[in-house]
Chain A
Amino acid sequence: MKVTEVQVGLASCGIAAGAEAVFNQFRKILGSKVVVKPVGCLGMCYNEPLVAVITDSGERFLYKRVDAALAKRIAEEHVKGGTPLEDFLAPDDGFFKRQVRIVLENCGQIAPTSVEEYRERGGYEALRRAIQEMTPQEVIVEIQQSGLRGRGGAGFPTGMKWSFAAQEPDPVKFIVCNADEGDPGAFMDRSVLEGDPHRVLEGMTIAGYAIGARFGIVYVRAEYPLAVRRVKEAIAAARKAGFLGKRILGTPFSFEIMVKEGAGAFVCGEETALIASIEGRRGMPRRRPPYPAQSGLWGHPTVINNVETLANVPWIIRNGAEAFARYGTEKSKGTKVFALAGKVRHSGLVEIPMGMTLEELVFDVGGGIPDDKEFKAVQIGGPSGGCVPASLAHTPVDYESITQTGAIMGSGGLIVMDEATCMVEVARFFLDFIQKESCGKCTFCRIGTKRMLEILTRIVKGEGKPGDLDKLIDLGYKVKTNSLCGLGQTAPNPVLTTTRYFQDEYEAHIREKRCPAGVCRALLRYSIDPEACRNCKLCAKACPVGAISQGDGPFQVIQQEACIRCGRCREVCPFGAVRVE
């Protein structure tokens, strides 16, 4: 069993966890004797940095949480010595078992920008087939039959979008890849662009062939510098290999792709705002129709697809619509990638077949809640989505079922919340986000969300008034119905779902001035248990406002009037004597 290759996960999150030092360590020790390769995100972010050691018999050993010291041992003992370090291997915790990897099939397995490695795994075969053996119409029909729907959130049938643009007589058309992944808590598109950029380029090129476009633009948010770099490198490599440029693969079809960097505006994920941004203006949505498929960039028909949508396309052309439609439910076919984060053991990037329930997603794939805490809700769909409570965890992941709960599928951000998460505070957090990101065009979105935010801020401060709840809900529906674009129409969702499912928490804040989850600072009360206190005075030293003093005995007390509830005393107490309620 000779080791032939060492793979180090070098996506943004891996790098943040220290993977670069690990990579350099392997390079230094192994030199050119063994291939040391940077790969993209494997999805097991909770085990980063990850290292895979591969032998000539194709066996794969996955090490978790590797640092430079462990890298040295792996290099010496396993790669050179041939003995795996059993204790440091990532255990088989069922993370991959229930996943189906279509979009992520290459992520973390190949050198991201290499055309050769992408081709070894079937890459660019779909493009060849499409432009050499199929008519544009046949490509569209194939996508239509697969049932693929937009993965950016709204779930519009992709094939139908393409057919609209294909019907337009205008000889100039565009394909835009929407990689303006602005949802806080979502990193699917980043991982795909960093880990398997050719897949997205191939999808775009096929889309270009199908609708008759010669030009594609990848609109990436500027906060993703590594993704931008990898996509640019991949474009150069694809052009060199003849998969982009003039007369691709000897056919009359030519296609070019360029990258456009966003400048930090959540609303630019909306199609018409994105177009305005590419054209050099403020990213403000306009009224539809005309839809971009009829009149988009510079007035030409433009198809805007999300990264994940496009990443599905090569697989569908290669394996057929039927194979794709085998996964999923009646109306939602294929898989969905989720960025699983928050209070969950296996936070990371997962791809599951549509129709799996939220509960299975959180517990079987996600490994459940850490520290044996109680599962309370999932926030799905980011600021446009909502909180689905544990009581509805049997809801299957498909566009219609999720929408019924009041949330939306969204682009794939999925934050797990436990008993220590305050739902009122979460609603306030999202509304604060949306309020700052509102472009200001529609009055209801601009001012309505501001008023809602003021009410919520009041509630979490313990200054809520009776009637606040009704006002919130009333305003919420008004913002929903009187806003032009998807941002405004979905902005109240986090509030409306939490008021619906967690009304008692709102009531506790408003009436009893109590935060059941123990999160809202203004409503907390810190005290020192005289029995547990050993009078070490660490808390008194740590208190920034001098609110802690000697009690009538060998213990400290907190002066409630002076306390600012910063929680510092609780952090420093070695005996756990500081109580909070």
Chain B
Amino acid sequence: MAKRALKAKKEKPQWKQILQKHPPVPESVIPLLQAFQERYGYIPPEAVRAVARYTRTPLSQVYGVATFYAQFRLRPRGKHLIRLCQGTACHVLGADAILNHLKERLGVEEGETTPDGLFTLEVVRCLGCCSLAPVMMVDEETYGRLTPRAVDKVLAEYRKGKT
């Protein structure tokens, strides 16, 4: 633990806390990026540098990891994250129509955030709830057997302040 503290000494206090959760070794790069993303909803560019310093990994390599994996986001996201499943079962059962509907209702494309900062729309490959297809997740909650109307209902709930 002393080593962790030493390695994180010069970082910002709130980052120190996150960094020290994992040992200062290259194997910690992914868990640390995940920890930052969990805390901030995305990975701030400065955090990428901090992870590189802390794990003694070249910055290029950490950046490479941050851009390789689909999970990592380098730009801030909206308050609610909508993840629409485009797995095979969802695709066969009409997820495309749901995607178009979402794009239209939110006025954004995949990967974008609504101007009011409420929703970010992402498309993912299979949430593993294939028998409920088409499926989407809003934050941690899953909604299945979607229709355009069901989507509207869900969006309305979050607009009304559901958390």
Q: A residues touching B (Cβ–Cβ < 8 Å)?
A: 12-13, 15-17, 45-46, 48, 181-187, 190, 222-225, 260-266, 277-283, 339, 341-343, 347-348, 379, 382, 413, 415, 417, 421, 426, 429-430, 433, 437, 439, 566-567
Asked whether, in the complex, the Cβ of A415 is within 8 Å of the Cβ of B68, the reply is no
Asked whether, in the complex, the Cβ of B69 is within 8 Å of the Cβ of A283, the reply is yes
Tally of A-B Cβ pairs under 8 angstroms: 136
Asked whether, in the complex, the Cβ of B125 is within 8 Å of the Cβ of A433, the reply is yes
The reply on B117 being an interface residue by CB < 8 A is no
Provided the pairs A184-B86, A429-B91 are in contact, do residues A347 and B131 lie with their beta carbons within 8 angstroms? yes
Minimum CB–CB distance from A563 to chain B (whole Å) comes to 16
A382 to B124, CA, bound (A): 15
Pick the residue among A45, A190, A223, A281 that contacts B131 (CB under 8 A). A45
Pick the residue among B127, B130, B133 that contacts A223 (CB under 8 A). B127
Pick the residue among A225, A282, A429 that contacts B65 (CB under 8 A). A282
Q: Which 10 A-B pairs have the closest CB atoms?
A: A45-B131, A184-B87, A185-B88, A16-B142, A264-B70, A263-B69, A341-B130, A264-B71, A187-B128, A341-B89
Pick the residue among A264, A280, A429, A567 that contacts B57 (CB under 8 A). A280
The closest CB in chain A to the CB of B91 belongs to: A429
Asked whether, in the complex, the Cβ of B30 is within 8 Å of the Cβ of A263, the reply is yes
A437 to B25, CA, bound (A): 27
Asked whether, in the complex, the Cβ of A347 is within 8 Å of the Cβ of B130, the reply is yes
Collect the chain A residues with CB atoms within 8 Å of residue B145's CB. Answer: 17
The reply on B15 being an interface residue by CB < 8 A is no
Minimum CB–CB distance from B77 to chain A (whole Å) comes to 15
The reply on B157 being an interface residue by CB < 8 A is no
Pick the residue among A13, A264, A417 that contacts B69 (CB under 8 A). A264
Pick the residue among A224, A279, A413, A417 that contacts B27 (CB under 8 A). A279
Binary CB contact string for chain B from 85 to 111 against chain A (1 if under 8 A, 0 otherwise) = 011110111000100100000000000
The closest CB in chain A to the CB of B92 belongs to: A342
Minimum CB–CB distance from A434 to chain B (whole Å) comes to 11
Collect the chain B residues with CB atoms within 8 Å of residue A181's CB. Answer: 128
Counting chain B CB atoms within 10 Å of each CB, the highest count among A183, A185, A277 belongs to A185
The reply on B155 being an interface residue by CB < 8 A is no
Collect the chain B residues with CB atoms within 8 Å of residue A265's CB. Answer: 68-70
Minimum CB–CB distance from A435 to chain B (whole Å) comes to 12
Collect the chain A residues with CB atoms within 8 Å of residue B33's CB. Answer: 263
Asked whether, in the complex, the Cβ of A277 is within 8 Å of the Cβ of B88, the reply is no
A439 to B68, CA, bound (A): 8
A251 to B27, CA, bound (A): 32
Collect the chain A residues with CB atoms within 8 Å of residue B72's CB. Answer: 263-264
The closest CB in chain A to the CB of B61 belongs to: A281
Asked whether, in the complex, the Cβ of A225 is within 8 Å of the Cβ of B140, the reply is yes
The reply on B129 being an interface residue by CB < 8 A is yes
Collect the chain A residues with CB atoms within 8 Å of residue B29's CB. Answer: 280-281
A280 to B68, CA, bound (A): 12
Provided the pairs A48-B132, A342-B93, A415-B92 are in contact, do residues A186 and B65 lie with their beta carbons within 8 angstroms? no
Asked whether, in the complex, the Cβ of A12 is within 8 Å of the Cβ of B88, the reply is no
Provided the pairs A223-B124, A264-B70, A417-B92 are in contact, do residues A185 and B31 lie with their beta carbons within 8 angstroms? no
Asked whether, in the complex, the Cβ of B132 is within 8 Å of the Cβ of A13, the reply is yes
Counting chain B CB atoms within 10 Å of each CB, the highest count among A184, A281, A567 belongs to A184
Collect the chain B residues with CB atoms within 8 Å of residue A567's CB. Answer: 97
Collect the chain B residues with CB atoms within 8 Å of residue A430's CB. Answer: 88
Other A-B pairs beyond A12-B128, A281-B29, 13, CB < 8 Å: A12-B142, A13-B129, A16-B132, A182-B125, A261-B30, A263-B34, A263-B71, A264-B69, A280-B29, A281-B65, A283-B69, A347-B89, A415-B92
Collect the chain B residues with CB atoms within 8 Å of residue A429's CB. Answer: 88, 91
Collect the chain A residues with CB atoms within 8 Å of residue B130's CB. Answer: 45, 185-187, 339, 341-342, 347, 415
Asked whether, in the complex, the Cβ of B129 is within 8 Å of the Cβ of A187, the reply is yes
Asked whether, in the complex, the Cβ of B128 is within 8 Å of the Cβ of A190, the reply is yes
Pick the residue among A182, A186, A261, A413 that contacts B34 (CB under 8 A). A261
Counting chain A CB atoms within 10 Å of each CB, the highest count among B55, B64, B91, B140 belongs to B91
The closest CB in chain A to the CB of B97 belongs to: A567
A223 to B130, CA, bound (A): 14
Collect the chain B residues with CB atoms within 8 Å of residue A566's CB. Answer: 100
Asked whether, in the complex, the Cβ of A348 is within 8 Å of the Cβ of B131, the reply is yes
A339 to B130, CA, bound (A): 8
The closest CB in chain A to the CB of B124 belongs to: A223
Asked whether, in the complex, the Cβ of B132 is within 8 Å of the Cβ of A413, the reply is no
Pick the residue among B55, B68, B70, B131 that contacts A341 (CB under 8 A). B131
A278 to B65, CA, bound (A): 12
Collect the chain A residues with CB atoms within 8 Å of residue B140's CB. Answer: 225
Collect the chain B residues with CB atoms within 8 Å of residue A339's CB. Answer: 130
The closest CB in chain B to the CB of A297 belongs to: B27
Asked whether, in the complex, the Cβ of B57 is within 8 Å of the Cβ of A186, the reply is no
Pick the residue among A190, A224, A266, A277 that contacts B30 (CB under 8 A). A277
Collect the chain B residues with CB atoms within 8 Å of residue A433's CB. Answer: 125
A280 to B138, CA, bound (A): 29
A224 to B142, CA, bound (A): 12
Collect the chain A residues with CB atoms within 8 Å of residue B68's CB. Answer: 265, 282-283, 439
A133 to B126, CA, bound (A): 43
Minimum CB–CB distance from B128 to chain A (whole Å) comes to 4
A16 to B87, CA, bound (A): 16
A181 to B55, CA, bound (A): 28
Asked whether, in the complex, the Cβ of A17 is within 8 Å of the Cβ of B125, the reply is no
Provided the pairs A16-B144, A264-B70, A429-B88 are in contact, do residues A184 and B30 lie with their beta carbons within 8 angstroms? no
A-B contact pairs, 8 of them (CB 8 A): A13-B129, A48-B131, A184-B86, A263-B30, A263-B33, A264-B70, A282-B64, A348-B131
The closest CB in chain A to the CB of B87 belongs to: A184
Minimum CB–CB distance from B24 to chain A (whole Å) comes to 12
